[in-house]
Chain A
Amino acid sequence: MLARVRDYFAQAGVLEVDTPVLSPAGATDPALQSFQTRYHGPGLAHGSSLYLQTSPEFPMKRLLAAGSGSIYQICKVFRDGESGRRHNPEFTLLEWYRVGFDHFDLMDDVETLLRSVLEGLVPLESVDHWCYRDLFIESAGVDPFNASVDELRGCLQSHAIDPPVGLSPDDNDGWLDLLMTHIIEPRLGPGLVFIRDYPASQAALARLRPGTPPVAARFEAYLNGVELANGYHELTDAAEQGLRFEQDNAQRVAQGLEPVVVDTRLLAALASGLPNCAGVALGIDRLLMVAAGSNSLASVIAFPLNDA
């Protein structure tokens, strides 16, 4: 499978790169927990804290800003706290960036890549495109951009799902995430489904598209109901990116989590000019899982956490 991926990008003229797994800065997203380790050695006799990457996004964007052109990488990433049927705390990510693409071009690219990688393994039955809002209205009968938390709770109850333990009524995105995992995802069905135009509050590192309300130029790809990839039309505004990092850290502190050291080298690279580009990260283990017709990562990871 990796050979097919490399073939695809070789033919598309996308350069394979390799960036550090360890960095003094990390991902600020409150829903992502980084592993940390200590470095002791020349220049740092008393040691210094390093994060294991949750994705290679920041160094890859620094390469893009330095003029690399379109690039891809296949690497191990690490996410603390994530273990289950479809999660393992270390997994293999395929991440790529296409200069000059927006997220619509990139969704087409994801589809073409998947067709070429899955050929002869599993048929790609259908390809559907949904806007986040339309999908919620269609599948759950609720407008995610206007519904109050009470209405979201009512929607869960109408689907016979008891209100969750520990979710604050102020956490609007948390309630939307819950509808996504409990109502929307189980109804996605077979084939490749793209969901785009996420709420602005869930933009992460995507740029916003003006509108009422503005939406994030972000998409997720699901294959046979399994979340496979997350992509953005990348935010290039350094000031806006710095602000989002600060907001993330403020939210982390409010949730009792450690703030994360912000990647100032990324911000400097954005300030120097990130070309217009779109990028996406795709879980290779999950792709293997779907290709193998399995429902559990343990069947495609040789040694998952409890056997590592």
Chain B
Amino acid sequence: MATYSTNEFRGGLKIMLDGDPCSIIENEFVKPGKGQAFNRVRIRNLKTGRVIERTFKSGETVEGADVLDIELQYLYNDGEFWHFMDTNSFEQHAADATAVGDAAKWLKEQDVCEVTLWNGTPLAVTPPNFVVLKVTDTDPGVRGDTSSGGGKPATLETGAVVRVPLFVEIGETLKIDTRPGEYVARAKE
């Protein structure tokens, strides 16, 4: 794997730190009037998601991390692993619960997700920004209600629970924004 000097540090660069793959968020060059220069770097540990600050003596080199973001299609969950496939090479990847994390509740078969691979193994899964999911359970709909105001919880086919307008019925499909985890609209399907 390549090594990077502090002069190559920039947002998004993937490096190894304390044995974990990390992504650089922000890099600041500091130097007292006379004397040593340092790089103060904010870094996200890609395994834990934790953001830390580390200082490097300027000119130091660190090992790069073999981290790759690719688009993979979600296939199925076997109870332990979530299986994804590269639709070009048909290569399959199995992600464990740590890698999938909160994305699990949005994953529907055949949706395409961004998967972060470290040394070929899934490290993190980002669901699509918008997903279309069927309502499996909610209180009966209220006819004539508009989407403004109020709302009620609805359980979706993947198990996620979102707040929806009162008129939504069981069996309807909804468009959901996964980033805030919010209802957007009813989907035509």
Contacts and interface: CB of A to CB of B under 8 A. Distances in A.
A and B interact physically? yes
A162 B60 contact: no
User: Interface size for chain A: under 10, 10 to 19, 20 to 34, or 35 or more residues?
Assistant: 20 to 34
Interface stretch (A141-149, A172-180, A261-269): A172-180
Contacts of B56: 164-166
Contacts of B60: 165-166
B29 A181 contact: no
Given A164-B57, A165-B57, A180 B32 contact: yes
A7 interface: no
Nearest to A195: B33
A178 B38 contact: yes
A177 B32 CA distance: 6
Interface stretch (B47-55, B72-80, B119-127, B163-171): B47-55
B59 to A, nearest CB: 8
Nearest to A83: B29
A202 B35 contact: yes
A185 interface: yes
Nearest to B27: A84
A53 interface: no
A230 B34 contact: yes
A153 to B, nearest CB: 12
Q: Which of A84, A85, A182, A227 gathers the greatest number of chain B CB atoms within 10 Å?
A: A84
Contacts of B58: 81
Contacts of A229: 33
A202 B30 CA distance: 18
B53 A162 contact: yes
Contact of B28 (A31, A81, A84, A176): A84
Nearest to A173: B35
B55 to A, nearest CB: 4
Interface string A25-46: 0000101000000000000000
Nearest to B61: A166
Contacts of B53: 161-162
A296 B112 CA distance: 41
B187 interface: no
A227 B33 contact: yes
A87 interface: yes
Nearest to A182: B55
A166 B3 CA distance: 14
A82 B62 CA distance: 20
A204 interface: yes
A220 B33 contact: yes
A81 B37 contact: yes
B105 interface: no
Nearest to B34: A204
Nearest to A160: B53
Closest CB pairs A-B (n = 7): A84-B29, A166-B60, A166-B57, A164-B55, A177-B35, A177-B36, A180-B32
